[in-house]
Structure 1
Amino acid sequence: MTAVSFDIRDKGLADKGRERIQWACSEMPVLQTLEVRFARECPLAGVRMSSCLHITTETANLARILTTGGAELLPCASNLLSTQDNVGFNLSALESLAVDKWRPRPSVDEYLLQDGRRIRLLAEGRLVNLAAAEGHPAAIMDMGFANQALCVAHLWAHQGEFANQVHGVPREVDGEVARLKLEALGLSIDTLTQKQSTYLASWREGT
């Protein structure tokens, strides 16, 4: 891919960023397993792709596994400004209008205005499901990103076989992600018989 220019405010934060990415990775055992497999099999060798998504510690691990699998990846941040501090919300104006401020719980700041009204600001005005880290923890994104990585590999392996329409995730991909998650948790479940599988997928009878 053609090299692109970039502007980094503080390169000194790189090591800290790597630590955070590695911490998120420790919470994503399915992606860890896939990374080992992708390194061995290189299922995405020859793929040139780009992505547009929120740049977080979790999506950094998705990018890493895609490149480990052989893909040439060019990621870019979506909503580049709205996910930065103080941009989506005029925090400086609120600070000047408030007569008091306190934090009733993590990621929640309450401001008292002169007329008695109260404003509760979540995650300092940032994108709450990312900044507050309660909406999409790494352990949950693990399975979603593993699914995406396997879908990309499936598309590449079967290129030219798909009609130009919306396709669901192949059952074998969903099943593989579920199997890897159970394996990571040290759990095992029964294998369904053909009769059980037919009943489970049927709309003709049930409770």
Structure 2
Amino acid sequence: MDYHIKDPALAEQGKLRIEWAAQSMRVLKTIKERFATEKPLKGLKISACLHVTTETAYLMQTLKAGGAEVRLCASNPLSTQDDVAASLVVHDDIPVFAIKGEDRDTYYRHIHQALAHEPHITMDDGADLVTTVHTDKKDLLSGIIGGTEETTTGVIRLRSMAEKGVLAYPIIAVNDADTKHLFDNRYGTGQSTIDGIIRATNRLIAGSVFVVCGYGWCGRGVAMRARGMGARVIVTEVNPIRALEAVMDGFEVMPIMEAARVGDFFCTLTGNTSVIRKEHFEVMKDGAIVSNSGHFNVELDLESLASIAKSRRTIRPFVEEFTLSDGRRIYVLAEGRLVNLAAAEGHPSSVMDMSFANQALSVEYLVKKGSSLSKSVHPVPKEIDENIAMIKLSSMNIRIDSLTEEQVKYLSSWELGT
């Protein structure tokens, strides 16, 4: 079997960690059990470019149980958990191409290797796999039924491709499902980002000034968790509606230039480029800690920071110290990449349960409906979204009400009023 991982000897450790994660992924367990019986993905080839974590491993096992032939590569050079990659290769016979800390050339070589079996479905987190197909592997396009996209950044890129008439096959925007972004982005990113910052620095959040750049669902989650740990939270935004929401939620809102002067911690979560730039680094106070939890490290202009630094060194794992000419020190976490996955373990498995349930069921939907879908970005069908929520509630032993016949009639009529 073709694969490229750090060390197969790590497989036993990875297997135990996957089992631990799977215990909290009861929605995906339900889907896996059905897939194993029905084999709805029999004969299907899937190329997946995702963060290689314990939760992703359980998704790969679920897809294979459904009959699919899966290949997996990393969607970020620093997010791979090497023991998990080893377990998938050794125990599940799933080809994995991912090594934590891989350089850019290796990263893209791994993407090409994940595509080598000529997939029918692409599964992406950030759209690097899709863009590679559309630029370097166009010969594969005719055989692809459709794809899925996991994250906000990827959906932005894919919508741009669709608007420009470049996208050659339909994509399901898993990120936009309510059972994904309302929970994964908010609660998952909130907890795991704070976890990554604390693991990397061991600094106290309470009493600090914590600057959150971007108040989308991920930014909301980080702001909420930072405040919960006792920080004074400042939000920066370019969207007036989101800025107003942040104010109404009780946060201070100001331009990044003002926030740069007072912040102790900074975290970008925008999906855009150059959010924190040279002029911001120049006014930061000594000891400022800068991180990113958006998909790509372009949110931090690290080239500009390096240009104004007289020296730089790695002072502890995932913490790089940049010393400016006046002696002030700025600390960048995890090379500006996803701090929650590079310096910690990513989202808790119970929240990824719903995200990856959307992935699995969206693949099944593409098998059934892909040929009838336009070459654009499509939502996860409402019935899939609601079904996942119901299974999740059931797994938590929570019951809810159902509409009465009278209520159904009332909601569907226009004649009934006061």
TM-score w.r.t. length of structure 2: 0.39
State the 1:81 CA deviation.
6.0
Q: Distance in 2 between the 1:82 and 1:32 partners?
A: 24
Deviation at 1:125, TM superposition (A): 6.8
The count of corresponding residues between Structure 1 and Structure 2 is 189
Q: 2:382 corresponds to which residue?
A: 171
How far apart in 1 are the matches of 2:392 and 2:403? 18
- Give, as a single letter, the amino acid of the residue that structure 1 aligns with 2:8: K
Q: Which residues in structure 2 correspond to 1:111-190 (within 5 Å)? A: 117-122=328-333, 127-133=338-344, 136-190=347-401
- 2:313 pairs, out of 94, 110, 117, with 94
CA distance in 2, matches of 1:194, 1:116: 72
Corresponding residue for 1:73?
A: 70
Q: Distance in 2 between matches of 1:161 and 1:194?
A: 35
Give the aligned partner of residue 24 of structure 2: 27
| SS at 1:150 equivalent | helix
Structure 2 unaligned blocks of 5 or more: 81-99, 104-296, 307-311, 413-418
Counterpart amino acid of residue 22 in structure 2: C
Answer 1 or 2: higher relative contact order, Cα 8 Å, separation at least 6: 1
The structural deviation recorded for 1:159 is 3.9
The one-letter amino acid paired with 1:71 is A
The percent of aligned pairs where both chains have the same amino acid is 49
Measure how far apart 1:164 and its partner are.
2.7
Q: 1:38 offset after TM fit, Å? A: 1.1
Gaps of at least 5 residues in structure 1 are: 102-106, 202-207
> Which amino acid letter does the alignment assign opposite residue 379 of structure 2?
G
What displacement does 1:158 show? 2.7
Distance 1:187 1:171 in 2: 21
Amino acid at match of 2:395: A
TM-score normalised to structure 1 length? 0.72
Q: Deviations over 1:36-92 (max 9, x none)?
A: 1111111111211211122111111111111111111111222336863597899xx
Deviations 1:182-202 (A, max 9, x none): 11001111123577679889x
Give the counterpart of 2:48 among 36, 43, 51: 51
After superposition, the Cα gap between the structure-2 partners of 1:16 and 1:184, relative to the gap in structure 1 and judged at 3 Å, is: same
Superposed displacement of residue 130, structure 1: 1.4
The separation in 1 between residues aligned to 2:333 and 2:406, in whole angstroms, is 50
